Amino acid sequence: MGYNVTQKIIKAHLVDGRMKAGSPIAIRMDQTLTQDATGTMAYLQFEAMGVDRVKTDLSVSYVDHNMLQTGFENPDDHRFLQSIAAKHGLYFSRPGNGICHQVHLERFGKPGTTLIGSDSHTPTGGGIGQMAIGAGGLDVALAMAGQPFNLKMPRVIGVKLSGELRPFVSAKDVILEVLRIKTVKGGVGCVFEYLGDGVETLDVPARATITNMGAELGATTSLFPSDAVTKKFLKAQGREADWSRLVADKTAAYDEVLDIDLGNLEPMVAMPHMPDKVQKVSEVKGMKVHQVAIGSCTNSSYKDLMTVAGMLKGRSVHTSLSLGISPGSRQVLEMITESGGLADMIKAGARILESGCGPCIGMGFAPPSAGVTVRSFNRNFEGRSGTKTASVILASPETCAAAALTGEMTDPRDLGIAPVAVKIPKAFATDDTMVIPPLSAEEAKKVEIIRGPNIAPLPRKERPGATLSGVVLLKTGDNITTDHIMPAGAKILPLRSNLPKISEHVFEAVDPTFPKRAMEMGGGFVLGGENYGQGSSREHAALAPMYLGVKAVITKSFARIHLANLINFGILPLTFKDAADYDRVDQGDELELDIADVMKPRLTDKTKNLKIAVVPQIFSDRDRELFLAGGALNYASGK
């Protein structure tokens, strides 16, 4: 039996374990990336390990999230990150150079290699055949220190594409179809690998859109083969030498196969407040729209924006709404300027926003109260836009442009305009002056780290005792996201390097009294339903609860990255052996958890005098040792 692309890359990087689905494995990481919202804490953790210089082939520190500088906090963090990069041998992508995933795809990603990033949309790199995995910042810090990444060997779901997309139907509609079929929890423990004749009809920006938003499936990552299309893209980026052919063997097998005929797809949207609430645009046509935003790491490429520019050319944005456009990178902004696309968008009435994440994380351009905003982004969780009462609809750039022109949900095929054909340029603008390369080891010794007053000392957790006790501080429902646990936005993101301050906002969108109660009660337990912790890789959703004294989280099931983050920070993740027991335990109940043998925990609800069977979500000896050490940082540094 031959190997698929996923298996080939894992086999070439396997450090420990067996390539059997569900078994613990460890793989070598070639590259890392961080962004500024997660990077500051990741580099504080890297410093604590006492490693002088990163041990990867390439590591890049990007600034793209905390770009709204309303105070000293964000610019101070940016100076810290730049000095850290100079000190420890990283590339530093300056503010304004673009969104990490778009820039990495353009300038650094390499087929057949592995990439771990402290952002859940790191799988964007799968668009060029790179195994790119999102993780918590501590896992990235460990990789920079030369340690392998530990995970479960994923199941590989083959998505067989046939046919060709029709006009005004695009890659966003492909991934929305996959989400419609598999849901936001259907990809946990899986890699989605795309194959079939339809693959060669999709260029790299289209593939990257699909792999980027594969994160919403809960997947480990998503992958396309590295083929002639990939080679053409890398050659246009001046990086043909980085290309290598990587395709599945003809006899390769998959754990499951989905068949999608591209020619049968039509424009689709994800309705509030979850990326898998997928409907056809034709089913919601006529709905009034108050704002449109085009960009994010999902749909901000040169091709995406030139398509939008072509649709807007000679027309005007509807008077009932505001249109904001965020180019994905400095390269994209430069090229749409030179080609005239930027002028077409401005003449149409679009507002041009900075090359950064911006509205996607609630960092500016918030929608009005109770407004409908249509966005070419990847997440539409409640409140993520910065306006809790807003309804966020996810759509392709083409559907976004149609809404911007008409003021309502409109199938772009009904506009009566000719399709816009945008080809991948033969040569992209490749000015890397906004990327500062690593200093030599000797030069790096002279660098002093610049720390602003908002950067608080790195916390550590004590080793757990034989018994954990406390009250149920909070009981949540299904699909609790990391945005629910640790909100983002212009108010909170600047606090990412100040754990005591940011901890005041834990579960703010669910129960704003949580932080105060947790501190007063000396910590306790959190109960959750299915798919707890889906969404962003933000480790603060584990780190801040740890700071508040959360000892264990008990759920029906967990999302992958958040589960790993809980273990990394010494919070015990448990699931109910019988999901019905979730209904037997209430918020406020006093619990006692005997973990004399952490692999056989015994839970008692002392308030109701109930014995509750729970299962530790610890899958390897390493996970067990991490938890017993009080977290991965203690474990890695031998403390």
DSSP state of 160: E
Structure-block tokens of residue 511: 């129960």
Distance CA 186, CA 177 (A): 13
State phi, psi for 552 to the nearest 5 degrees. -155, 150
Instruction: Name the catalytic one among 121, 207, 375, 379.
Output: 379
Mean pLDDT in the chain?
95
Of 61-65, 250-254, 260-264, 455-459, the least confident: 455-459
* pLDDT tens track for 553-578: 999 999 999 999 999 999 999 999 99
- pTM (2 d.p.): 0.93
SS3 sequence of 356-411: CCHHHHCCCCCCCCCCEEEECCCCCCCCCCCCCCCEEEEECHHHHHHHHHHCECCC
Nearest Cα neighbor of 569 from 508, 492, 486 is: 486
| DSSP letter for each residue of 596-634 | SSTTS-EEEETTTTEEE-EEE---SHHHHHHHHTTSHHH
CA dihedral 33, 35, 36, 42 (to 10 degrees): -50
Instruction: Name the catalytic one among 329, 355, 536, 620.
Output: 536
Residue 638, pLDDT > 80, answer: no
Structure-block tokens of residue 83: 């000095």
* pLDDT tens track for 613-637: 999 998 788 889 989 999 988 888 7
23: which strand partners? none
Structure-block tokens of residue 46: 């890297």
Give the model's pLDDT for residue 528: 96
Nearest Cα neighbor of 362 from 396, 402, 392, 405 is: 392
Token pair 């057949």 is found at 112
N- to C-terminal Cα separation, the chain: 45
Instruction: Name the catalytic one among 30, 61, 65, 483.
Output: 65
Contact 291, 322 (CB under 8 A): yes
Altogether, the residues listed in the chain come to a count of 639
By three-state DSSP, how is residue 589 classified? coil
Give the model's pLDDT for residue 255: 97
* pLDDT tens track for 377-412: 999 999 999 999 999 999 999 999 999 999 999 999
Instruction: Name the catalytic one among 36, 64, 76, 483.
Output: 64
Distance CA 39, CA 178 (A): 31
Q: Span 5-264: which CATH code?
A: 3.30.499.10
Distance CA 437, CA 54 (A): 13
Q: How far is CA 345 from CA 233, 314, 323, 329, 339, in A?
A: 25, 9, 10, 17, 12
Instruction: Name the catalytic one among 484, 496, 538, 562.
Output: 538
Structure-block tokens of residue 514: 């949580």
Identify the helix (H) or strand (E) that includes residue 58: strand 58-62
Is-catalytic flag, 83?
A: no
Contact 67, 354 (CB under 8 A): yes
Best CATH choice for the domain 467-488+498-632 from the list 1.10.10.10, 2.60.120.10, 3.20.19.10, 3.20.20.100: 3.20.19.10
Residue 639, pLDDT > 70, answer: no
Q: How far is CA 225 from CA 229, 231, 616, in A?
A: 9, 11, 36
Nearest Cα neighbor of 27 from 101, 115, 100, 106 is: 115
Sequence ranges of the domains in the chain? 5-264, 269-413, 467-488+498-632
Indicate the fold that domain 269-413 takes in CATH: Aconitase; domain 3 (3.30.499)
Distance CA 151, CA 533 (A): 17
Is-catalytic flag, 65?
A: yes
pLDDT band for position 493 (cuts 50, 70, 90): confident
Nearest Cα neighbor of 298 from 175, 165, 482 is: 175
Residue 461, pLDDT > 90, answer: no
Stretch 63-81: mean pLDDT, rounded? Answer: 91
Q: How far is CA 486 from CA 390, 480, 493, 496, 615, in A?
A: 19, 11, 10, 10, 25
Stretch 460-481: mean pLDDT, rounded? Answer: 93
Is-catalytic flag, 119?
A: yes
Is-catalytic flag, 64?
A: yes
State phi, psi for 155 to the nearest 5 degrees. -75, 150
Question: What is the separation of C-alpha 608 from the centre of its chain, rounded to a whole number of angstroms?
Answer: 40
**Domains 5-264 and 269-413 are alike in CATH topology:** yes
Give the model's pLDDT for residue 458: 78
Is-catalytic flag, 226?
A: no
Of 237-241, 401-405, 453-457, 516-520, the least confident: 453-457
Beta strands (DSSP E) in 235-300 are 256-261, 268-270, 278-280, 291-294
Is-catalytic flag, 538?
A: yes
